[in-house]
Amino acid sequence: MTIQDSSETPRGEVGPSPREVGPVADPETKGMSQGQLVRRRFFDNTAAIISLVVFAIIFLLAFTSLGFAGIPGWWKYNHTQFLPVVDGGAPTVTGPFSWGDHPFGQDSIGRDYFALTMRGAQNSIIIMLLIGAISGLVGVVVGACSGYFRGWTEAVLMRITDIVIIIPLIVLAAVLGRTVGTSLGAGAAVFFLGVVLGLLAWTGMARLVRGEFLSLREREFVDAAKIAGASNARIIFKHILPNAVGVIIVNTTLLMSAAILLETGLSYLGFGVRAPDVSLGLIISQNQEAFQTRPWLFWFPGLFIVLICLTINFIGDGLRDAFDPRQKKFNPRKAKEADRPVRA
C-alpha cells in the first residue's frame, strides 16, 4: 500500500533471494521481536519517513513560532495584533532563509498572516491529536469490552455504537460545536471542540477492535491464560490487546487525517473554531472572496492543511505496511517469471 517497496528491495540486493533459500526462514527476520520488525519495516519506508520529518517540522514551526500555553515563541507578531498594512499585504518571503517582515503577507485588517496560519495550524493539530487520543481510547474500550465479554455487554454497547454511527458525524459535530462554542471562551473552545469530536468519532474504531477481539479471544493463548487463573482485565490488556495493537495504531492515524479535514470543514462552515480564535478552515472561509486580488490569503492555509493531512496519511500507510505486510507478497512480474517454465 505504499509508494516505497520497503521489505523486498533490501532483501533482493543484500541477502540471497528467497527463491534460493527455499522454505528456510528469511535470515533477515531471524531473531527479531515483532516490535523490531515493525520498526525496521517502517524505517525502510521512504515516503513514511519523509512524511514524519515534514510533519515534525510543521509541528515545531507551529508551536515554537507563536509559543504555546503561555510560553512565548520566537516570532515577533501574534495573531491578534493589528499592524499597518505594508505593500497591500503582499507576502515578503523570497527564499527559505529570507523571510522578510511578513513572510505570508497580511490580511485585510493588517494581521500578520504567518502568525494567523501558525495559530490555525496549532489549533488544527491540537484538535487532531485530541480526536485521535480520545476516540482511539473510547473505541478501544468499547470494542474490547463488547468483543471480549460478548452477551448483553456487547448488545448494549453495539446498539449505542449503532445510534452514534447513523447520525452523520458532521451533523452531531455541527450541533454540538454550536452548542459549546457559544458558551465557552476562545482558548477553551478549541480543546472542547477536540474533546467533543473525539467523543463522536470512535464508532469505526470500536467495530474494528471488536472484530479483532472476537477472533483473538478464541485463540489458544487466551484459554491458557484463563486456565492459569488470569483475571479478565489481565487477559484483555496483557494478552489480547498487544495482538490487536497494529490495527489500533493504523486506524488511529487514519482517523486523525480524517479529523483534520473534519475540523477544517466544520470551521469553514462556521460550526467549528470561530472568531476571534483562528483555524485553517476559518481563515480560508474568511478570505476566499479575496482570491482574485490577494491569492496568498488562500494558498498558505490550504497548503498547510494539505501538508498535515498528506503526511499523516503517508505515516498511517507506512504503519499499515509495517504491521501487516501481507499485501506485499504479490508481485506480478515475479509471478509471471515463476509461471514461465510451467507454461512453456
**Residues making contact with other proteins (CB under 8 A):** 1-3, 5, 159, 162-168, 170-172, 174-176, 178-179, 182, 257, 261, 264-265, 268-271, 281, 284-285, 288, 291-292, 298, 302, 305-306, 309-310, 313-314, 317, 326-327, 329-332, 335, 339, 342-343
Smaller CB separation from other proteins, 235 or 257: 257
At a CB cut-off of 8 Å and minimum separation 6, what does 127 contact?
190, 193, 194, 197, 259, 263, 273
Smaller CB separation from other proteins, 170 or 249: 170
Smaller CB separation from other proteins, 173 or 248: 173
Contact 124, 260 (CB under 8 A): yes
Nearest CA among 290, 302, 258 for reference residue 128: 258
What's the rounded Cα separation, in Å, for the pair 211 and 161? 14
Instruction: Report in angstroms how near the CB of residue 218 gets to other proteins at its nearest.
Output: 17
- Which residues face 80 on adjacent strands? none
Instruction: Report in angstroms how near the CB of residue 196 gets to other proteins at its nearest.
Output: 11
Instruction: Report in angstroms how near the CB of residue 209 gets to other proteins at its nearest.
Output: 19
Instruction: Report in angstroms how near the CB of residue 44 gets to other proteins at its nearest.
Output: 14
Q: Is 30 exposed, middle or buried (0-12, 13-18, 19+ CB in 10 A)?
A: exposed
Instruction: Report in angstroms how near the CB of residue 328 gets to other proteins at its nearest.
Output: 9
Smaller CB separation from other proteins, 44 or 239: 44
Smaller CB separation from other proteins, 5 or 101: 5
Instruction: Report in angstroms how near the CB of residue 71 gets to other proteins at its nearest.
Output: 30
Q: Could you give phi then psi for residue 18, rounded to 5 degrees?
A: -60, -25
* Residue 114 one-letter amino acid: F
Instruction: Report in angstroms how near the CB of residue 295 gets to other proteins at its nearest.
Output: 8
Instruction: Report in angstroms how near the CB of residue 225 gets to other proteins at its nearest.
Output: 28
Contact 282, 272 (CB under 8 A): yes
Smaller CB separation from other proteins, 75 or 271: 271
Query: What single-letter DSSP state applies at residue 25?
Result: P
CA distances from 225 to 7, 140, 239, 243 (A): 34, 21, 8, 14
Smaller CB separation from other proteins, 232 or 293: 293
What secondary structure, in 3-state letters, does 64-118 show?
Answer: HHHEECCEECCCCCCCCCCCCCCHHHCCCCCECCECCCCCCCECCCCCEHHHHHH
What secondary structure does DSSP assign to 218-263, as a single string? TSHHHHHHHHTT--HHHIIIIIIHHHHHHHHHHHHHHHHHHHHHHH
Which cell goes with 215? Answer: 477472533
Smaller CB separation from other proteins, 236 or 283: 283
What's the rounded Cα separation, in Å, for the pair 272 and 285? 12
